[in-house]
Structure 1
Amino acid sequence: MDASNTYGIISLLPVVVVIVSALITKRTLECLIVGSLVGFVILEKQNFLSEWVAAAQEVFGESAWYILVFGVFGVIIMLLEKSGGAQGLSQLGTKFAKTRGVALISTWILGILIFIDDYLNNLGVSVAMRNVTDKFKVSREFLAYLINSTGAAVCVLIPISSWAVFMSGQYESLEIMGSDGTSLGAYIQSIPYMFYAWLAVILAPLFALKIIPLFGPMRKAEQRAAQGQVFPPSYYEQLEKGTMEEVKEEMDPSKARAVNFIVPMVVFVIATIVTDGDILMGGVVTIIVCAVMFIPQKLMTVAEFCDISFKGFTSMSFVTGLVLTSFILGKANEELGLTPYIIDKVEPLLSPGLLPVIAFLLVAFLAFACGSFWGIIAIVAPIILPLAVAVDANVYLVGAAIISGTVFASHTCFYADAVTLISAGTQIQNTDYAKTAIPLTIIPVALSAILYLIFGMVI
């Protein structure tokens, strides 16, 4: 690939600015804005501000789906809380989960069961389990890590999810078929080699049960929670500033019913499946079902239902803004030629034996840097997979390496949609998640790289 049209190593600067400034300031939205502005300064010099505004307008125009999806999720979260459904499920969970270990393993199992879509996984499990784990003094940071460790990982391992459908489409477009002659067959043959996804799912309960000791900032977060402070310090700082409402249960315990959580979530899953994975339609159907259930029970009036829904929609404005701003950064990276520059530097190393491990690390870096997972697959797969065929590498192993790289990015990119949503669901800041969870991913990343190297050499 010709990198002559890229800005070379300078194309890395916006991403570096975002990561470094976010770690220093513990702010995410502002750092994304600064990073994207840096990108447009490089691109446009004097006219950078007008071009940044034009890019922002384009992103917001193209992102109506994200705005609606996050808003609908906010509505559902608020309705489940105000109806007492979430509290009812927490009471039920507390009766069942008699110990901290059972509570955490239940969270992990629920994360595996909700495999249709990682958005739905993050939404349902966080709202269902956060009050349960609070009672056992589990830090919200560890809860977020545990849930997100399933998330995209489970979605890629079970071939009837939104991720599986997308990747099967990539295989089909490149005419890569499995032994049964279908692109889905090719995807299924890749599943055993999705090492990072397998390891992320397997290691999470080992951390939860303390079979593998926690370390670093996550260990400190758990020590803090053991003393009764499950929220990170940033939560209380926001309370003092008035930028966040205190989390408290207002529902009469006698009106809290688990069925008011379980039925809407089951409807959400079924409606999403029936509509061919349309999670927005699934969410709209769920809101209608909530109205049919909650208003006749006199849990809220029609007017209160509307007010709660509006409040829920607007409560996700920061989340939505964060994701859309990351898209602006992505546009800057695209125009700077970040992806072709990196691929051009890596291509000379792509021998058959090294191809899987390099594909894994390359995609992991690019997806993290760009905050785009499916987008990076769409760019990289048409380059790397035909190359795998040409050099006689195992194409299913290489395809699995690409997928594993994006799952890693989904688990770690603190300014992208997955981490943003799980942070909202567990009511922490994205930087709190990044500081505590990312160090734990060192183990599955290192093991995955070793496995891709070994398997690349052997098969």
Structure 2
Amino acid sequence: MEIGEHLGIISLLPATIAIILAFKTKNAIFSLAVACFVGVLVSGEGLLGFPNLLKVSLGTTSFSWIMLLELFIGILIAFFQRTGAIQGFTKIVEDKKLSRVGIQLVAWFMGMFVYFSDYFSPLFVGATMRGLSDKAKISRERLAYIGDSTSAPVSVLVPITGWAVFIAGLLIGMGPIEDASDAMGVFVKAIPFNFYALLAVLFVGLTSLKIIPEFGPMKKAEERALNEGKVLADGAEPLLGEELTDTPPYENFKINVFLTFILPVLIVITVAVGTYITLKSAKTMEAFLTASVVLGIIMRIKGIPFNDIMKTAMAGMKGVLPAIIILALSYSINSLSKSMGTANYIISITQNWLVPNLLPLLTFLIAAIIAFSTGTSWGTFAIVMPLSVPLAFSFSGNEITALVLATIAAVAGGGVFGDHCSPLSDTTVLASTGAASDHMDHVRTQIPYALTVAAVASVLYLVIGFVAA
């Protein structure tokens, strides 16, 4: 399909079906599969369209990368369980005698610390804090929310991440932005205008400190956990296999938190950040592979039999299989939405409204709708940035003004909104995986918070539009 082409309102059907069914049935896999099947039928692909869609969507480097990343993360978490590393880390934190609020703040800070990867952050926070949060009677939904809100929203605010490089790359050639250096400078100037991302991160701290009280489904989840001791709702299906939640430590294995937990985490951080600095691309998947291999060697040296290590690794792979299946179907939905021109249709019915005063607000809303419908933030950036930013420059006389910076930030924030809370988003899936939360329970409890932040951001963009235009 050519740029700008679309199938009209039909192009919204797959994503709409997936989202409605997901909330109705609470089964993301079933909902995504039905949406894919209906989508290929209405687009005229016939009965063979479904398997062809899977082949095209999953036979890509990007899906292979995230699948391998998931597998290596699963192995590493299984190794953490088998060596007692997480239990050891939990005991260290327990000795600090932190309150329920304190534990949530630790999780919040940990998520922001691992800013370099929106994939690693929610998994790291969930896996390391889950045992501690369970003991403190913090709901899994709450833990997933903390992990999710400190992943993409943080990554898009830091200039030394792949997110910043990607957004800056899209800006080159627009207005007076001539090269990568100019583009990164503009990205940095736009950070204070990225209201959604800034407020999403802040909102976690404010609700953790009870400055803003819990509300909506999250309040009910927290009351259930605190009063009934149920960190999961009745009938919930955690998006993490029992292999990664019930794996006992190896018998008589002496726990060494530094060797079996801190060192592998440092390896992940060093490799990811180091490759970003030297190669301009964070090799996150390779970082987890390296950490898994090193920890496997340490386990063997410390006396765990080779066969047990391999069995643990296979259990880790099996444990992340539910998340991989959802990611596979989400990638298929994204591919289907792209081929049907979903984003093009949304833009076609809104672009006539893009006047100077409303430009930041409408840009944010358009990006948010596209990202939520497709589950992809980077794809949203690539679609909306070339449309809205040149328009902002035309209104500003080709000068880098507050209107231009707010419009750039609105694209970034709107894209993060979808990535942050769409049931189709990979980071939303990973947050559910890390916290071992039911995926749709995580989405359902998080959306009111995300919408609240989005509403405040919308008001700020409206004000900026009238002040700066």
TM-score interval for Structure 1 and Structure 2 normalised by the shorter chain: over 0.9
Structure 1 pair 253–407 and aligned structure 2 pair: CA distance change class (3 A):
farther
SS in 2 for 1:234: coil
2:232 aligned with 1:231: yes
Structure 1 pair 212–218 and aligned structure 2 pair: CA distance change class (3 A):
same
Structure 1 pair 388–221 and aligned structure 2 pair: CA distance change class (3 A):
same
2:361 aligned with 1:357: yes
Displacement of 1:415 in angstroms is: 2.3
Residue of structure 2 in register with 1:315 after alignment? 319
Code of the aligned partner of 1:379 = I
Displacement of 1:297 in angstroms is: 2.0
Structure 1 pair 302–32 and aligned structure 2 pair: CA distance change class (3 A):
same
Give the conservation status (yes or no) of the 8 Å contact 1:140–1:232: no
**What aligned pairs does 1:45-84 form with structure 2 within 5 A after superposition?**
47-62=45-60, 63-84=63-84
Alignment partner for residue 381 of structure 1, among 373, 378, 385?
385
Give distance in 2, aligned partners of 1:238 and 1:420. 11
Displacement of 1:411 in angstroms is: 1.5
Structure 1 pair 441–176 and aligned structure 2 pair: CA distance change class (3 A):
farther
Uncovered stretches (5+) of structure 2, i.e. residues with no partner: 277-281
Give the conservation status (yes or no) of the 8 Å contact 2:327–2:429: yes
Give distance in 2, aligned partners of 1:94 and 1:234. 29
Code of the aligned partner of 2:449 = L
Residue of structure 2 in register with 1:295 after alignment? 300
Please report the RMSD computed on the Cα atoms of aligned residues, expressed in angstroms: 2.3
Code of the aligned partner of 2:394 = A
Give distance in 1, aligned partners of 2:243 and 2:317. 16
Residue of structure 1 in register with 2:106 after alignment? 106
Displacement of 1:246 in angstroms is: 9.0
Moved more, 247-256 or 10-19: 247-256
Give distance in 2, aligned partners of 1:330 and 1:179. 31
**What aligned pairs does 1:16-415 form with structure 2 within 5 A after superposition?**
16-44=16-44, 47-62=45-60, 63-172=63-172, 174=174, 177=177, 182-226=182-226, 227-235=228-236, 244=242, 247-248=245-246, 250-251=248-249, 255-259=254-258, 260-276=260-276, 277-298=282-303, 300-392=304-396, 394-415=403-424
Give the conservation status (yes or no) of the 8 Å contact 1:37–1:48: no
Give the conservation status (yes or no) of the 8 Å contact 1:179–1:185: no
SS in 1 for 2:46: helix
Give distance in 2, aligned partners of 1:401 and 1:85. 41
Displacement of 1:280 in angstroms is: 1.1
Displacement of 1:206 in angstroms is: 1.2
Give distance in 2, aligned partners of 1:5 and 1:382. 16
Give the conservation status (yes or no) of the 8 Å contact 2:78–2:312: yes
Alignment partner for residue 435 of structure 2, among 416, 426, 430?
426
Give distance in 1, aligned partners of 2:426 and 2:306. 32
Code of the aligned partner of 2:372 = F
Give distance in 2, aligned partners of 1:378 and 1:420. 22
Code of the aligned partner of 2:140 = R
Q: Deviations over 1:390-414 (max 9, x none)?
A: 2227222111111101111122111
Uncovered stretches (5+) of structure 1, i.e. residues with no partner: none
2:454 aligned with 1:456: no
Displacement of 1:37 in angstroms is: 1.5
Structure 1 pair 88–243 and aligned structure 2 pair: CA distance change class (3 A):
closer
Q: Deviations over 1:246-287 (max 9, x none)?
A: 944622698334322111111101101122201111111111
Give distance in 2, aligned partners of 1:137 and 1:391. 53
Number of residue pairs matched?
Answer: 452
Give distance in 2, aligned partners of 1:59 and 1:6. 19
Give distance in 2, aligned partners of 1:381 and 1:347. 13
Structure 1 pair 196–243 and aligned structure 2 pair: CA distance change class (3 A):
closer
Structure 1 pair 444–178 and aligned structure 2 pair: CA distance change class (3 A):
farther
Give the conservation status (yes or no) of the 8 Å contact 1:92–1:258: no
Code of the aligned partner of 2:231 = V
Displacement of 1:232 in angstroms is: 2.3
Give distance in 2, aligned partners of 1:3 and 1:273. 36
Displacement of 1:177 in angstroms is: 3.3
Give distance in 1, aligned partners of 2:59 and 2:180. 41
Q: Percent identity?
A: 30
Give distance in 1, aligned partners of 2:372 and 2:429. 13
Give distance in 1, aligned partners of 2:170 and 2:158. 17
Structure 1 pair 387–132 and aligned structure 2 pair: CA distance change class (3 A):
same
Displacement of 1:26 in angstroms is: 0.6
Code of the aligned partner of 2:86 = A
Code of the aligned partner of 1:98 = L
Code of the aligned partner of 1:61 = G
Residue of structure 2 in register with 1:445 after alignment? 454
SS in 2 for 1:35: helix
SS in 2 for 1:158: coil
Code of the aligned partner of 2:58 = F
Residue of structure 1 in register with 2:279 after alignment? none
Displacement of 1:223 in angstroms is: 0.9
Give the conservation status (yes or no) of the 8 Å contact 1:234–1:429: no
Code of the aligned partner of 1:232 = A
